[in-house]
Chain A
Amino acid sequence: MFLKVQLPWNVIIAAENLQPEGLMLQREIIVRLLSDFAVKKATKDLGYFLAVTTLEKIGEGKVRQHTGDVLFPVVFNAITFKFFNGEILEGVVHKILKHGVFLRCGPIENVYLSNLKMPDYRYVPGENACFMNDKMSKIGKDVTVRFVVIGTKWMEADREFQALVSLEGDYLGPISSPDI
């Protein structure tokens, strides 16, 4: 789900970017913060970083001894997106394999739904392979599916999450979109 977080960060301004006029300094700090925020992409605790919303305060700058840079402690608000275990979400199928499907949901591309977690669904091979149950309900490409999150994994190297989801439980499964 989406989260609104308040974070304290340290923003470092290089000496050459320090301007004597107050407003330019504030602009430089904000630009630096937005840049650091964009580069970070995601963290294990807060999920995917989406946008900075407000700047709460900028603290007093401290000069760093060896480099001459100035460090400003800032507090800001941001929107992030993270999967919670037990959460109910909707994703779209983008890849079908013999033993499960991959869905995308928000910024997360690798949401895996194993065949073992699709009660009564069987793999139907073919050009447009899909999973189908006795009631002719289909889980195929571009189908929206409501699932429950049963596990997430943080991949430090790629700075992204993978998730494991399930359809075990009532009110979970493919959702037919209104076509008309």
Chain B
Amino acid sequence: MSEKGGKGASLLSKGGSLKGKDDSATKSSKGRKVQFSKEGAFESGISSSLTSLKSGGKGGKVANGGKSSQSKDPHSSDQRVGKKLSENIKCLMDCEAADILQGIQEQMVMLSRDSTFKMPISFDKGLQYAKNNSKYTNPQSTRRVLEPLAKCGLTDSEVCVIGNVCPETIDEVFALLPLLKERNVDRQVLKDSLSELAKLRRPV
């Protein structure tokens, strides 16, 4: 059961910058702006993404066709859900990743017998996250169920978001992925996929 936020996007009415004070010991000399670091680059990235949010209505134009990701900012990431990825990158759902990482974990005992063997530090956190969020018993069946969506025009990343979130209704899908509304996705295919997904869900 989940409590949902329950509201449409209420956008910032003034300005594009976030205002807030960090209560921690290191108080920013700039005072009221939320900062991750002394550089202003992140803020400019946020300001512009907030400005693009302003131009949307309910649900917000969170995905704005790439305009909000500022290529001028060397620190901000250009990738967003809905954009096509390069050939060498494929999106994995949490359940698929959990399967693969769990397999590697099971071999850890044998692997760590070799003193030269080093494991990336993010491995454990990645595995934990994947296992906790893995909602399905069978990743292969889940992938098969979502195949019709890929043929419907959804990108790899959008299919994965739907797989990870496991929305209950089409309204939820369009609320979480507003770009899909503009793309005339076949609602019946979406509905069928969601009901099939629900059958594959692991009992809570």
Contact = CB atoms under 8 A, between A and B. Distances in A.
A41 B32 CA distance: 33
Nearest to A110: B36
A153 B75 contact: yes
A1 interface: yes
Interface stretch (B87-95, B145-153, B189-197): B87-95
B82 A86 contact: yes
B98 to A, nearest CB: 9
B203 to A, nearest CB: 10
Contacts of A40: 120
Given A87-B81, A112-B34, A116-B12, A176 B1 contact: yes
B172 A170 contact: yes
B21 A168 contact: no
Interface residues of B, number: 82
A37 interface: yes
A8 B8 CA distance: 44
A41 B42 contact: no
Contact of A79 (B22, B42, B97, B133): B97
Given A2-B94, A152-B76, A175 B88 contact: no
B77 A168 contact: no
A162 interface: yes
Contacts of B77: 44, 82-85, 152-154, 161
B171 to A, nearest CB: 8
A112 to B, nearest CB: 7
A42 B125 CA distance: 14
B143 interface: no
B59 A170 contact: yes
Contacts of B76: 151-154
Contacts of A44: 77
